[in-house]
Amino acid sequence: MGLTKKRFIADFQAEALHLFADSLENLSPMQQYQALAFLVKGYYAKDWAQTKADYDHHQQKQVYYFSIEFLPGRLLASNLLNLGIKDTVEAGLKQLDIDIPDLYAQEGDPGLGNGGLGRLASAFLDSMAADGMAGNGNGIRYQYGLFKQRFVDGYQVELPDDWLRDPYVWETRKENRAVIVRFGGSVYLTPCDNGGLEPVYQDTDDVLAVPYDIAMVGHHNHMVNTMRLWSAEPVPGHAHSLAEKSRINAITQILYPDDSDTAGQELRLRQEYFFTSAGIQSIITHYRRFHQDLHLLPNFVAIHINDTHPAMAVLELMRVLLDDGGLSWEEAWQITVQTLSYTNHTLMAEALETWPEEMFARLMPRLYQIAQEVDHRFRQTYTPRFGGELIQRCAPIADGYLRMAYLAVIGSHAVNGVAKIHSELLKSSVLKDLYTIFPERFNNKTNGITPRRWVQVANPELSELIDSAIDTGWRSDPSLLVPLAAHLHDEKFLKALHTAKKANKEKLAAIIFDQLGIEVSTNAIFDVQIKRLHAYKRQLLHVFGILEAYLAIKNGENRPSRVHVFGAKAAPSYRYAKSVIRLINAVADLVNNDPDCKGKLAVAFLPNYGVSLGERIIPAADISEQISMAGTEASGTSNMKLMANGALTLATLDGANIEIKDAAGEDAMAMFGLTTPEVAQLKASGQYSARAIYEADPTLHRVVDMLTDGTIPGITTEGREIQDELLVYNDTYLVLADFRSYVEASHKLDALWQDPIAWAQAALKNIAASGQFSADYTVARYGRDIWDVLPATPVGHGGE
């Protein structure tokens, strides 16, 4: 975009006048933000319309990414970056004497997701636009996002996230594209003209699905894609009772606050059908504007099922092809399988969705009929070859439940996990039987992140330093970071790296002081763990590491100074996770108020972790804690963001940590703990005794005792609960088993810290190797291997 500073200032002033009938300097920062955002929306509007027109004109194959969560983060800075006008606009703002960080901070984060799954979905939309692929998001416009987290007396308190209270500038309501989603009622089949059967619906609850579109601006390529979020409304003209209206509105009112641990509420099932049906209907309506023949659907449309939440797409697409399209079962099934693909994001049994047949049949009677037919044909087709036992284990319906992961595999032509190890484990554990039947469908697509947001926007200090060393090509093609490694022995560069990190630590220290009143030294190691709070992610192990250091300091030992930074929300109903939050805050109180720890050890638990807080924490991190029990974290993505910002990974061999190790080198990080096979073997042997380990390790003994002996004030019940999980319930996630090797790995990093040049070299190795984890490459691989869609914009190499 050929925008000059002068032109921008004039446009901005005109927009302010237009929107608020006042001059810029009289507006509040929020109004100034809104004026700027509207102006930017206008800057890309033409490209947005043109991109859609071009896709239609060239009949480009479209990808539809169905996800029950999205976490786009703030869009102003990233849109400016992608449009190539960020520097110009910022120069203009400076001339207008506007506080730029304060202006950006006016924008709220849409909290339409819980964690990695939602953030990955948004990264993929951003990357599809950057790659010039015709990629669309399909999801839910929740009225309330994930709760805002506060701490009161160290306890998590959840406040509603009413993110739509201020008008959300980036969305556009598309009333003309609304569709009707039918729930409940009854359905029977009746003979129709072509000799087949036709379903007749009676007494259905109809809901209007209204789409809100948000632009996904491509990086420097004039392409603008769409994220479409659906809102549930009463159908105009229908006589709804008040109770019905509120039942309808409830469908898109709230996001379920669970990450990868629970499943199974009726409203959740309604949400899933709502956005899946709306998406499928609008795709087919659009397709039919250009094509008569539904058989060609897979040539023009790819629909991706992000985890099982939209797995009903299998049944809904069948419904539309059979009932509206009049195709035979065989034809419809072939089209469905060729159109759909599925990503699994977790092996955790609790998160594998199953729905009671009764509930499913009541809410979606027609889909249930189709599911029964899928089940029947699956059994009939494969039992002769694979035997009844295997088929019973992996059929879509069994024991009164629909099993959504199995349905997704059976109804898709491709199935992938999100890191190499995870994709392997899928084949050998939860999807083993279906892998036996459909081996050719299984593949790996290691997750990725968007370095545009996590490095270019969040860390300008590092970005400029990289530019000065290897020029700016990496900004469009992060695989070009590799040559940065040539500076491994360039002391001046290594020192500059340290200085840039220090500047980011100063900024984070100011936030920590501002929010928590804790003064931290920026000479300390900033040791960061940011992710949802889950037992399997083992924040508790990190706490035990802190307590080990605390005891050492009390004992007069000299250790490099550390600041432990946490960010983590717990699901409101997850008692154990909330107890760990209380524990972290109590340990923070203990440590931060102990004069012996001053300048040596500090703990800062920043509330309300999300995309925007991540942008402040990640650039300041020295250590990235990725310490899940091996075999539990499917991939992780904060590991990639932190690596890209030069943090050293302290990790188990789990998820994408393994690929990070292969990329950066073992000497540039610290690995520890039991491996996945060791965990499996230990669990299978029945020989694990947490208590025996506790008895054998005096330091660990002391640390575990601290939970209940009053050393950490104010955690009587929580301390007892956590200690019982370890010693009475025998430590499900092997915290005690990994404690010793965790502490040793951590000491290894302490030793490295004593040599600033060696530390900077390790940081540099991480940065130089991080480019392969750009989601631009991940998405290009999905396009090549799964969707059959090629990037229109060159995307470089990125590993493979």
Which residues are part of the catalytic machinery? 345, 531-532, 537, 637, 641
Query: How many residues form the binding site for ligand TH1 (CB under 6 A)?
Result: 20
Q: Least distance (Å) from ligand TH1 to the CB of residue 492?
A: 37
Q: Least distance (Å) from ligand TH1 to the CB of residue 325?
A: 32
Q: Rank residues 327 and 660 by Cβ distance to ligand TH1 and give the closer one.
A: 660
Q: How far is CA 149 from the centre of its chain?
A: 18
Q: Least distance (Å) from ligand TH1 to the CB of residue 501?
A: 25
Q: Rank residues 675 and 689 by Cβ distance to ligand TH1 and give the closer one.
A: 675
**Distance (Å, whole) CA 297 – CA 319:** 15
Collapsing DSSP states into helix, strand and coil, what is residue 449? strand
Q: Least distance (Å) from ligand TH1 to the CB of residue 422?
A: 8
Q: Least distance (Å) from ligand TH1 to the CB of residue 443?
A: 15
Question: Quick one: DSSP state of residue 177?
Answer: G
Phi-psi label, residue 788: left if phi above 0, alpha if psi -120 to 50, beta otherwise:
left
Q: According to CB under 6 A, which residues from 651 to 690 bind ligand TH1? A: 655
- Residue nearest ligand TH1 (C-beta atom): 116
Judge residue 725's burial from the number of C-beta atoms within 10 Å of its C-beta, 0-12 exposed, 13-18 middle, 19 or more buried.
buried
Q: According to CB under 6 A, which residues from 182 to 221 bind ligand TH1? A: none
Tell which one of 61, 228, 319, 345 touches ligand TH1 (CB under 6 A).
345
Tell which one of 282, 339, 447, 761 touches ligand TH1 (CB under 6 A).
447
Q: Are 447 and 127 in contact (CB under 8 A)?
A: no
**Distance (Å, whole) CA 158 – CA 624:** 27
- Residues forming beta bridges with residue 564, ordered by sequence position: 527, 603
Q: Least distance (Å) from ligand TH1 to the CB of residue 315?
A: 20
Point out which span in 213-221, 345-353, 593-601, 697-705 binds ligand TH1 (CB under 6 A): 345-353
* Structure token pair of residue 604: 């800062």
Site string for ligand TH1, 58-97 (x = CB under 6 A): ----------------------------------------
Q: Least distance (Å) from ligand TH1 to the CB of residue 217?
A: 23
Residues ≥6 apart with Cβ < 8 Å to 170:
37, 41, 75, 214, 215
Q: Rank residues 259 and 725 by Cβ distance to ligand TH1 and give the closer one.
A: 259
Q: Rank residues 418 and 509 by Cβ distance to ligand TH1 and give the closer one.
A: 418
Dihedral (Cα; 648, 653, 657, 663), 10-degree rounding: 80
Closest listed residue to residue 448, CA positions, set 157, 706, 732, 795: 795
**Distance (Å, whole) CA 6 – CA 527:** 44
Q: According to CB under 6 A, which residues from 30 to 59 bind ligand TH1? A: none
Q: Least distance (Å) from ligand TH1 to the CB of residue 256?
A: 7
Q: Does 450 bind ligand TH1 (CB under 6 A)?
A: no
Q: Rank residues 62 and 122 by Cβ distance to ligand TH1 and give the closer one.
A: 122
Closest listed residue to residue 130, CA positions, set 775, 782, 647: 775
Q: Exposed e or buried b for every residue in 27-47, given b needs 16+ CB within 10 A?
A: beeebbbbbbbbbbbebbeeb
Residue 641, number of CB atoms within 10 A of its CB? 29
Q: Least distance (Å) from ligand TH1 to the CB of residue 425?
A: 12
Q: Rank residues 419 and 749 by Cβ distance to ligand TH1 and give the closer one.
A: 419
**H or E segment to which residue 101 belongs:** helix 100-104
**Distance (Å, whole) CA 425 – CA 409:** 15
Q: According to CB under 6 A, which residues from 415 to 434 bind ligand TH1? A: 418
* Structure token pair of residue 522: 């920026």
Q: Exposed e or buried b for every residue in 497-533, given b needs 16+ CB within 10 A?
A: bbebbebbbeebbeebeeebebebebebbbbbbbbbb
Q: Does 351 bind ligand TH1 (CB under 6 A)?
A: yes
Q: Rank residues 456 and 635 by Cβ distance to ligand TH1 and give the closer one.
A: 635
Output the DSSP codes for 459-516: -HHHHHHHHHHH-SGGGT-GGGGGGGGGGGG-HHHHHHHHHHHHHHHHHHHHHHHHHH
Q: Least distance (Å) from ligand TH1 to the CB of residue 749?
A: 23
- Residues forming beta bridges with residue 7, ordered by sequence position: none
**Distance (Å, whole) CA 67 – CA 276:** 9
Q: According to CB under 6 A, which residues from 765 to 794 bind ligand TH1? A: none
Q: According to CB under 6 A, which residues from 102 to 161 bind ligand TH1? A: 114-117, 120
Q: According to CB under 6 A, which residues from 578 to 637 bind ligand TH1? A: 633-637
Q: Rank residues 248 and 351 by Cβ distance to ligand TH1 and give the closer one.
A: 351
Q: How far is CA 3 from the centre of its chain?
A: 34
Q: In sequence order, what E strands does 167-250 have?
A: 171-173, 179-183, 186-191, 197-202, 205-217, 224-233
- Residues forming beta bridges with residue 117, ordered by sequence position: none
Question: Quick one: DSSP state of residue 556?
Answer: T
Q: Which residue has the tokens 């059994």?
A: 379
Q: Rank residues 265 and 523 by Cβ distance to ligand TH1 and give the closer one.
A: 265
Tally: H helices and E strands in the chain = 32, 23
Q: According to CB under 6 A, which residues from 223 to 262 bind ligand TH1? A: 258-260
Q: Rank residues 11 and 633 by Cβ distance to ligand TH1 and give the closer one.
A: 633
Q: Roughly what angle, to the nearest 10 degrees, separates helices 657-664 and 420-428?
A: 140
Q: According to CB under 6 A, which residues from 285 to 314 bind ligand TH1? A: 307
Q: Rank residues 135 and 636 by Cβ distance to ligand TH1 and give the closer one.
A: 636
Site string for ligand TH1, 375-414 (x = CB under 6 A): ----------------------------------------
Q: Least distance (Å) from ligand TH1 to the CB of residue 405?
A: 11
Q: Are 78 and 453 in contact (CB under 8 A)?
A: yes
Q: Rank residues 396 and 655 by Cβ distance to ligand TH1 and give the closer one.
A: 655
Question: Quick one: DSSP state of residue 536?
Answer: G
Question: Quick one: DSSP state of residue 164?
Answer: T
Residue 330, number of CB atoms within 10 A of its CB? 9
Beta strands 186-191; 301-306: pairing state:
unpaired
Q: Are 375 and 392 in contact (CB under 8 A)?
A: no
Q: Least distance (Å) from ligand TH1 to the CB of residue 352?
A: 9
Site residues (CB under 6 A) for ligand TH1?
Answer: 114-117, 120, 258-260, 307, 345-346, 351, 418, 447, 633-637, 655
